[in-house]
Amino acid sequence: MLNFLRKRASSWFIKAAFILIIIVFIFWGVGTVREREQTIIGEVNGKKISIGEFQNATNIIAENYKAILGDKFDYKMMSEQIKKTAWDMLVEQAILMQVAEELKLKVSPQEVIDEIQKIDAFKENGVFKREKYVEVLRYNKIMPSQFETQTERNLLLKKVRTFLKNAVTTTETEINDWYILKNRKIKAGYITLNYKDFAKDVSVTEEDIKKYYDTNKEQFKKPEKATITYYLIALSDFISNIKPDEKDLKDYYDEHKDEFFEPKKYVLRHIFVAFGKDRNVSRNKIEDAKKSLAKDDFAKVASRFNEDGTKNKGGLIGEISLNMVTPKLSSIISAMKKGDVSGIVESEYGYHIIRVDDIKEEKIKDFNEVKEIVKEKVIQNKAKILALKRASEIKDALEKGQVQNKYKPEKAEIQKDKPVISDMNLPELVNNIFNLGEGKSFGPINTSKGVIVGKVDKIEKGYFTIAEVKEKIKENVIKNKALNIAEEKAKKMIAEGNLPKGKETDWFSPAGVLPAPLNTLKDIDKAIPSLNKENRVLKKPFRSEDSVYIIYLSDIQDPVLDKNSEDYKKFAADFIENKQNLFFEEWLKNLKKNAKIKLNEERFKSL
């Protein structure tokens, strides 16, 4: 298939560039014959999913997390989430492929050709090159026919999404109503009825106190405590005796070169105009800046026009890598060469014109450049191994009831809700201690200070008695009863009308973040948008922790509805897209709910 693609020109590749395509490729899984013969991990409506496909998916998700989190990425900590994400996505893929078959959707060979030719990893100077295409795939151990089949599959999935999204209808009235709501500004008035003003009318009985205690007993749970004996084996006990040789250092460097990888960096300047109330004004300003570049230096134009912190630096942003910017900006910047100036680019903040001052190619730092860092890592690793070995010996002795003389035991009282041991925050270890129970040993565990191993001496748990919390309960009962009285009074005031003037908020958008004190009221965000000139008072009062509020419209400013403005056009496009996405997500959610999905839990947990 697609021999056309294999008859074009040139050869050059880099693995990093291919990540952009390999992510999608591996993630959705292209099952080889060997994989199809592997053990099945599950099935979706009869479509079997192999362990090979599942492992491909988990591997690439893990790589994505690693690229984002760097040294903070811990596969062990995140493995369950990674596996769940992989399985969910493979299920969705299977469902969508089945829908494509039912809808009789097809992808033509020409569509596959066009899609592959768009991929930057296969281009030189913006032009698709056959040799580069073949060599990049060969480097990643993928046959062209295999990649083309998967590209066809991905396009088919895309067609399913497009087909369903196009089924969503949106009226102009609907867009207008939401545009007005989004851009409307109001001032809300509010009348406050504090519970303290009604507390004098409240009495509390012993029965009230007992009922509150029984109903809310979990509030009076004592913090779980444990007493432990532990040993801390410090790495410093071993470090002074570790003398790694040159071979140790080079071996570590060769095996961990990814730790010393520096991505491609771009030194950027930009001219930036933020979105104002009228985007047409902002657009005109960035157009003026663009015209000025014909006669003035980029830095001078940036200093004149910029509306951010780079104004006094000639628009200098500094050094960035592509993973620091949005996919849209990344695509634009990656296609630029040193000295190139982009056209006008729109971001969520405003309009930009970008210049590339310099490009620093990706590289693996030279061994000599990182030798001291490598040495420190090797020493630390060897020290950890020795400390873990010593800790394991201590644990064996503890379990046999033998006394340890070399290391002094430490005693500690820990709480489940305050997971600190020896001034270290160790939530996973502390949680494990409470799950183990009394008399059990724990560890060895690596920590910032060394390796910990120990034994659980005692665990305490339970509830405070009514007598211990009686006064606190009495306060809460008084408050609840007083708030009920205040709420009934508020309802009566709303029904009677002629409300007294209350306090007033500043201007805010009903569709945006609510100001205080409205932001403390439960479910108020669902009711506030209903305030308008015809509905000036909310029909029910709202509670906070200590007060009841009556909310009304104090003032309102509606936007001018200009359907030709850039702002309106962007809103309309975003609104339609969001509505389509929500529909698609709900539709897929329902299909998953009704699908016959089987997962081999035992195999899932073992991977």
pLDDT range class, residue 524, cuts 50, 70, 90? very high
The DSSP string of 134-170 is HHHHHHTT--HHHHHHHHHHHHHHHHHHHHHHTT---
Order the strands of the 410-415 sheet from edge to edge.
410-415, 225-234, 450-460, 441-446
Query: Residue 429 pLDDT more than 70?
Result: yes
Phi, psi (degrees; rounded to nearest 5) at 138 = -60, -40
1.10.4030.10, 1.20.120.530, 1.10.286.10, 3.10.300.10: CATH of 3-166+596-606 = 1.10.4030.10
Query: Residue 338 pLDDT more than 70?
Result: yes
pLDDT range class, residue 443, cuts 50, 70, 90? confident
**Six-digit token string for 550:** 């009556």
For residue range 291-303, list pLDDT tens digits in order: 999 999 999 999 9
Look over the chain and give the mean of its residue pLDDT values, rounded to a whole number: 86
Q: Cα–Cα distance between 11 and 15 in angstroms, integer?
A: 13
Count the Cβ atoms, other than its own, within 10 Å of residue 381.
Answer: 14
Amino acid at 353: I
Q: Is 268:356 a contact under the CB 8 Å cutoff?
A: yes
**Six-digit token string for 134:** 């073949």
Query: Residue 235 pLDDT more than 80?
Result: yes
76: nearest Cα among 386, 393, 446: 446
For residue range 480-514, list pLDDT tens digits in order: 999 999 999 999 999 999 899 999 999 999 988 99
- What are the CA-CA distances from residue 135 to residues 10, 125, 156, 166 (Å)? 10, 17, 26, 38
- Can you tell me the mean pLDDT for 276-292? 90
Q: Which of 3-12, 52-61, 565-574 has the highest mean pLDDT?
A: 565-574
409: nearest Cα among 394, 393, 396: 394
583: left (phi over 0), alpha (psi -120 to 50) or beta: alpha
- What are the CA-CA distances from residue 178 to residues 175, 200, 523, 576 (Å)? 5, 46, 20, 11
Q: Which residues contact 86 (CB under 8 A, 6 or more apart)?
A: 54, 57, 58, 61
Phi, psi (degrees; rounded to nearest 5) at 352 = -130, 150
Query: Residue 280 pLDDT more than 60?
Result: yes
**Six-digit token string for 301:** 């134009």
Q: Which residues contact 578 (CB under 8 A, 6 or more apart)?
A: none
Tell me whether strands 185-194 and 547-557 are parallel, antiparallel or unpaired.
antiparallel
Give the pLDDT confidence score for residue 506 in this predicted structure.
Answer: 95
Q: Is 416:431 a contact under the CB 8 Å cutoff?
A: yes
pLDDT range class, residue 192, cuts 50, 70, 90? very high
Q: Cα–Cα distance between 86 and 538 in angstroms, integer?
A: 46
112 SS3 class:
helix
For residue range 22-65, list pLDDT tens digits in order: 334 433 444 443 444 447 899 999 999 988 888 888 887 887 77
Q: Is 556:533 a contact under the CB 8 Å cutoff?
A: yes
Amino acid at 524: I
Q: What architecture is the 264-361 domain classified under in CATH?
A: Roll (3.10)
**Six-digit token string for 234:** 């410090």
Amino acid at 148: E
Query: Residue 420 pLDDT more than 90?
Result: no
Per mean pLDDT, which range of 19-28, 159-168, 304-313 is the poorest? 19-28
61: nearest Cα among 607, 599, 582: 607
CA dihedral 504, 506, 512, 517 (to 10 degrees): -50
What residues are paired with 508 via a beta bridge? 186
Q: Which residues contact 299 (CB under 8 A, 6 or more apart)?
A: 269, 314, 315, 316
Helix (H) or strand (E) holding 377: helix 371-399
Give the pLDDT confidence score for residue 245 in this predicted structure.
Answer: 92
